[in-house]
Structure 1
Amino acid sequence: MRSRAALLIVDNGHLALIKRICDDETYYVFPGGGIEAGELPQAAAEREALEELGVKVEMGPQVFLTIGSGKEYYFLASITEGRFGSGSGEEYTDPERGRGSYKPVWVPVEMLTAISLYPEALAVAVLRQYTAGELQYNKWA
């Protein structure tokens, strides 16, 4: 697996996620995707925000890094312009991909451990840090 970059966008106690339905399974993932050759993780996260969510973002600090079959970088971000849910990436425009459906949604942060959110360990960490006041929207502004 190649490295990927993802976003944590928190607004009014809700976290932006992608609801996935694939092979009759419903689960959620953080918006983001693969880092292209020569692309910095932060630039990849900005690109993915536009492709998947339809928004431009102001990037905040990297708050998580997971290492498995590839590195996954997670950044705080805030929406600066665009319309949430208007993404036009290939996951929305190419029905031949056969990878199920993608839908941007806002989920209450306190519900993170009650849904199937991948990676699961990150759901617990996000909830813990949010409760401690460490994942505040526009914290860096």
Structure 2
Amino acid sequence: MRIRPAALILENNHILLLSYHYEAGTKFGLPGGNVDSGENFDQTVCRELEEELGIEVEVGEMIAVGQVHATTDYDACLHVLFEGDIVGGIPQLQPDETTANELVWMPVDKLAELNLYPAFTDAILDFVHSGKKGQYVGTLKQVWF
């Protein structure tokens, strides 16, 4: 099972997302990535966001954790979402480090309309509206193309 920590970066009621365009549709990803050997989750998030977006982040508390079961095309994955604050740099897509097509600041009120990866929509909305953190959400209902 892979482990993929990610950051929820909120500014002015907008969420920082990466957009991936496929023939079957668009998927929006929370910035993060797979843990390298010897890294803790904070280190992974910091490294991935520096590599892919050119920013320095401070990783806060865990918002949610959930899993995606393996399919014939995808490995099982444990997703862990943390609060994240930009403390250095301006987010810019680093095309040599990511397959994302663009960086998007998405209004929170549009989140429910998106195909989000990982599928933490409800946990994010709970966090934004009530400050709820530390949720185990079980199996994520991930939409694949």
Same fold judged by TM-score > 0.5? yes
- 2:92 alignment partner, one of 85, 96, 112: 85
Residues 133, 66 of structure 1: alpha-carbon distance in 2 compared, 3 angstrom cutoff: closer
1:1-141 equivalences under 5 Å are: 1-68=1-68, 69-87=76-94, 89-91=96-98, 101-120=100-119, 122-134=120-132
Question: What's the RMSD between the two structures over aligned residues?
Answer: 1.9
Q: Which amino acid aligns with 1:90?
A: E
Q: Which amino acid letter does the alignment assign opposite residue 106 of structure 1?
A: W
Quote how far apart the aligned CAs of 1:111 are.
0.7
Deviation of 1:102 (Å): 2.8
Q: Equivalent pairs: percent with the same residue?
A: 31
Q: What is the TM-score of this pair, normalised by structure 1?
A: 0.79
- Taking structure 2 as the reference length, what is the TM-score of the superposition? 0.77
Cα distance in structure 1, aligned partners of 2:132 and 2:126: 9
Q: Secondary structure of the residue that 1:110 maps to in structure 2?
A: helix
> Per the alignment, do residues 11 and 134 of structure 1 end up closer, same or farther by CA in structure 2, a change over 3 Å counting?
farther
Q: Quick check: 1:85–1:105 contact (8 Å CA) kept in 2?
A: no
TM superposition outliers: structure 1 runs of 4+ over 6 Å: none
Q: How many residues align?
A: 126
Higher helix share: 1
| Cα separation, 2, equivalents of 1:110 and 1:134 | 17
SS of match in other structure, 1:33: coil
